Amino acid sequence: MICTLAEAQALREEARKRGALVAVANGAFDLLHVGHLRYLEGAKQATAGGLLIVGVNTDASVRALKGPRRPFVPEQERAELVAALRCVDRVVLFGEPTAAGLLTALRPDLHVKGTDYTAETVPERELVTSFGGRTIVAGDPKDHSTTDLIARLKTLL
């Protein structure tokens, strides 16, 4: 389900009252592929049955990060696809170039990134540590990417 940041904060509080771990994962998720699925499944597993909130970049933030020709899929459709995954509890759109604002608002126990990072190279690692959270890496090796998928599609067209 797609929700507002305020709704996600309320869900975080409910989860904490139950003693459940709260994880936040984030990304553009343009042209959803198996690498995204494995990353988010790994993030959910890390919660041990807790709450997984996924931040999806808005169209404007994807353009700023990846260039004027991206995203290919509009933000509401990307958010809907991610929300439909069994491992995802909630999706929140965010428009900042990094997840720092989202993480500050949600203060998760875990910030989960994909395997294109190490726990030490995640830009928001120190922020997450400052409020008692941990940064972890999940998913399969970075053998899948939207950029690679686009390049392969171009050779077929």
The secondary structure of 23-70 as a DSSP string is EEEEE---S--HHHHHHHHHHHHHTTS-EEEEEEE-HHHHHHHH-TT-
- In the prediction, which pLDDT does 75 show? 98
pLDDT at position 95 is 97
Alpha carbons 43 and 78: distance in angstroms, whole number? 18
How confident is residue 148, by pLDDT bands cut at 50, 70 and 90?
confident
At 7, is the secondary structure helix, strand, or coil?
Answer: helix
Highest CATH level, class, for 5-156: alpha beta
Residue 91 CB coordination number (10 Å): 23
pLDDT in tens, 122-132: 999 999 999 99
Which two structure tokens, joined as six digits, stand for 83? 């929300």
Whole-number Å distance between alpha carbons of 55 and 42: 15
Using 50, 70 and 90 to split pLDDT, how confident is the model at 82? very high
- Region 34-52 average pLDDT: 97
* pLDDT per position as a tens digit, 49-65: 999 999 999 999 999 99
What is the rounded distance in angstroms from the CA atom of residue 53 to the CA atom of residue 68?
Answer: 27
For residue 96, pLDDT beyond 80: yes
